[in-house]
């Protein structure tokens, strides 16, 4: 794996396999006043500002150790380098799974997913990763090993450093090990996809579930070319016009799934969907993967998190902006359960991407919520903070960074507010 990032190529790469090795690597880097970027599978390494320094890559992909799964307690402890895919395979053997999903689980690691607070479709119902992290071990910039939380599903013992480090993008310490609370695998799962020619109709149907009888495991409203893609991926023929696809994945026991499917199909029918399909297992996986693919292949992807209605309106507002329409295929993927919209675009060149990014940033800045530019070319990163403004708590965040990494060794400049 190349460890180049935003125009930087590190002078050396550390590949620790043990805790001691990791601690020694950090002590060495720290002692030499160098700066370091921790790497997991590299699936989300591009999320973040341009580093202010980058001498050493700490590649954690060999930091895998033992997976400690306690099926009876529904918990697992895994090292940073274990991939989410492998971890889920181990858990599935006992009928369990991680509560959250990430894109590209075959490559995404525990450490990288937690550090970057990776989003996934199941967040509609189970929330973000941080709600499932019950304990953590981190190695501070100077090599000091520390831990917080515990290995039991419920624990309040001291400050929840594991919450602070989730989504801190490795700026406070290198996550070496994480303890997760787990969920049982559902007996059955099905996905229903329905498409509409009116945004409002699709939205109304979706919101009725989110606020009503049950929360689907994942529920997403897709518009633009991405909608056509997922419809095709489901084996259906997508309409030629702009369309709005509502995807709902339901899970549970056989009877519960049957009821949920009936409810969703009933609501879709009553609201006059243009078409719908109840997907087989394979088609389900294919359709959701296709949705992830839209984000990976986009030139620009911005994720905005807000109250669901605000997230929906923001997506609509941006998609209908003339300059953005002109710039190239714009799609939005709104998670109705979680309250987030990911806006993707594929403008023809970097200059257009920058123009579009500026418009999006301006639009989103007016709205209550947070955003992060998940994918963009270097010129965008050089132009703006890829994270939204954190407001008045920025001073406190800087003090926190200064407490844990006073020498600015870890991921310098890459975090919100260029921390």
Partner 1 sequence: MSPETSVSPALISDLSQIVGDQYVIWRSGDLLVYEYDGSIDKATPQAVVLPATAEEVAEVVKIANKHGAYIVARGAGTSLSGGAVPLRDSVVIALTRLTDLVEVDAENRVAIVEPGMINLHLSQQVSHLGLFYAPDPASQKTCTIGGNIGENAGGPHCLALGVTTNHVLGLEVVLADGSLTWFGGTERESTGYDLRGAFVGSEGTLGIVTKIAVRLLPKPETTHTMLAAFTTMDGASNTVSEIIAAGMVPSALEMMDRKTIDAVEPFYHPGYPDEAEAVLIVEVDGLKEAVEEQTETVLAICNKNGAMEIREAEDEETRAKLWETRKGAIGAYGTIAPTYYLVDGVVPRTKLREVLQQVDQIAAELDITVANVFHAGDGNIHPAILFNDRNPEEVKQAILAGAKILEACVAAGGALSGEHGIGIEKQAYMPLVFNEEDLKAMARLRTAFIGESPADAPIAVPSLGERFNPGKVFPGGAVHGEAYGITPESFRPTGTHDWQ
Site for partner 1 in 103-122 (CB under 8 A): 117
Q: Is 71 in the site for partner 1 (CB under 8 A)?
A: yes
Residue 225, token pair as written in the block: 């070319």
Q: Minimal distance in Å, beta carbon 377 to partner 1?
A: 21
Q: How far is the CB of 310 from partner 1 (least distance, A)?
A: 8
Of residues 166, 191, 223, 332, which one binds partner 1 by CB under 8 A?
Answer: 166
Q: Least separation, in Å, of the C-beta of 173 and partner 1?
A: 8
Q: Which residue, 298 or 305, has its beta carbon nearer to partner 1?
A: 305
Tell whether residue 20 is a contact of partner 1 (CB under 8 A): no
Distances (CA, A) of 61 to 14, 65, 374: 10, 11, 22
- Residues 229-268 close enough to bind partner 1 by CB under 8 A: 252-256, 258-260
Q: Which residues contact 257 (CB under 8 A, 6 or more apart)?
A: 186, 187, 188, 189, 190, 250, 251
How many degrees, rounded to 5, is the angle at CA 323 between CA 320 and CA 329?
A: 70
**Which of 85, 235, 369, 413 forms a contact with partner 1 (CB under 8 A)?**
369
The count of residues interacting with partner 1 (CB under 8 A) is 94
Whole-number CA gyration radius for the chain? 21
**Two tokens at 321?**
């902006």
Near partner 1 by CB under 8 A: residue from 27, 34, 265, 397: 397
Residue 143: CA atoms inside 13 Å, Cβ hemisphere, count? 16
Which of residues 31 and 212 has its CB atom nearest to partner 1 in the complex? 212
What is the distance between the alpha carbons of residues 93 and 100, in angstroms, rounded to a whole number?
Answer: 17
- The dihedrals phi and psi of 305, each to the nearest 5 degrees, come to -120, 125
**Half-sphere CA count of 389, side-chain side, radius 13 A:** 9
Least distance CB 137 / partner 1 (angstroms): 6
Number of other CB atoms surrounding residue 346 within 10 Å: 19
Options 27, 67, 153, 261; binder of partner 1; rule CB under 8 A? 153
Distance, CA of 228 to chain centre: 23
Report in angstroms how near the CB of residue 283 gets to partner 1 at its nearest: 24
Query: Does 315 engage in binding with partner 1 (CB under 8 A)?
Result: no
Which residue stretch of 193-201, 264-272, 356-364, 399-407 sits at the interface with partner 1 (rule: CB under 8 A)? Answer: 399-407
73 contributes a contact to partner 1 by CB under 8 A: yes
Position 65 contacts partner 1 (CB under 8 A): no
**Quick check: 417 binds partner 1 (CB under 8 A)?**
yes
> CA 278, CA 201: separation in Å to the nearest integer?
19
φ and ψ at 240, to 5 degrees?
-75, -30
For position 316 contacting partner 1 by CB under 8 A, the verdict is: no
Q: Which of 54, 100, 288, 415 binds partner 1 (CB under 8 A)?
A: 415
């Amino acid at each position: 794996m190349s460890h180049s990032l935003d125009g930087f190529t590190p002078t050396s790469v550390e590949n620790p396999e043990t805790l001691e090795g990791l601690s020694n690597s950090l002590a060495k880097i720290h002692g030499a006043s160098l700066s370091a970027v921790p790497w997991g599978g590299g699936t989300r390494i591009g999320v973040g500002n341009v580093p202010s320094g980058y001498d050493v890559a700490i590649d954690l992909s060999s930091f895998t150790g033992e997976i400690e799964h306690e099926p009876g307690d529904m918990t697992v402890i895994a090292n940073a380098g274990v991939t989410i895919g492998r971890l889920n395979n181990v858990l599935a053997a006992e009928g369990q799974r991680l509560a959250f999903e990430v894109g590209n689980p075959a490559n995404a690691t525990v450490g990288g997913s937690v550090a970057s607070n990776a989003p996934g479709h199941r967040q509609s119902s189970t929330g973000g990763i941080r709600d499932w992290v019950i304990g953590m071990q981190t190695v501070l910039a100077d090599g000091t090993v520390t831990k917080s939380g515990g290995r039991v599903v419920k624990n309040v013992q001291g400050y929840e450093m594991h919450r602070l480090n989730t989504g801190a993008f490795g700026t406070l310490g290198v996550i070496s090990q994480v303890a997760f609370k787990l969920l049982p695998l559902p007996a059955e799962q099905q996905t229903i996809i329905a498409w509409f020619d009116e945004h409002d109709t699709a939205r109304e149907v979706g919101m009725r579930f989110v606020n009503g009888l049950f929360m689907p495991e994942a529920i997403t409203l897709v518009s633009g070319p991405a909608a056509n893609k997922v419809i095709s991926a489901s084996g259906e023929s997508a309409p030629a016009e702009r369309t709005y696809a509502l995807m709902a994945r339901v899970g549970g026991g056989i009877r519960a799934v049957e009821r949920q499917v009936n409810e969703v199909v009933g609501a879709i029918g009553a609201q006059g969907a243009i078409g719908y399909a109840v997907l087989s297992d394979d088609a389900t996986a294919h359709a959701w993967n296709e949705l992830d693919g839209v984000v990976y292949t986009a030139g620009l992807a911005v994720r905005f998190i807000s109250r669901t209605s605000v997230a929906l309106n923001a997506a609509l507002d941006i998609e209908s902006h003339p300059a953005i329409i002109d710039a190239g295929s714009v799609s939005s993927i709104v998670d109705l359960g979680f309250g987030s919209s990911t806006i993707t675009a594929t403008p023809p060149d970097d200059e257009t991407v920058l123009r579009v990014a500026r418009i999006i940033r301006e639009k989103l800045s007016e709205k209550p919520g947070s955003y992060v530019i998940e994918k963009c070319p270097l010129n965008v990163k050089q132009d703006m903070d890829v994270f939204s403004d954190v407001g008045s708590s920025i001073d406190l965040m800087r003090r926190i960074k200064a407490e844990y990494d006073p020498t600015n060794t870890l991921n310098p400049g890459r975090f919100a507010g260029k921390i």
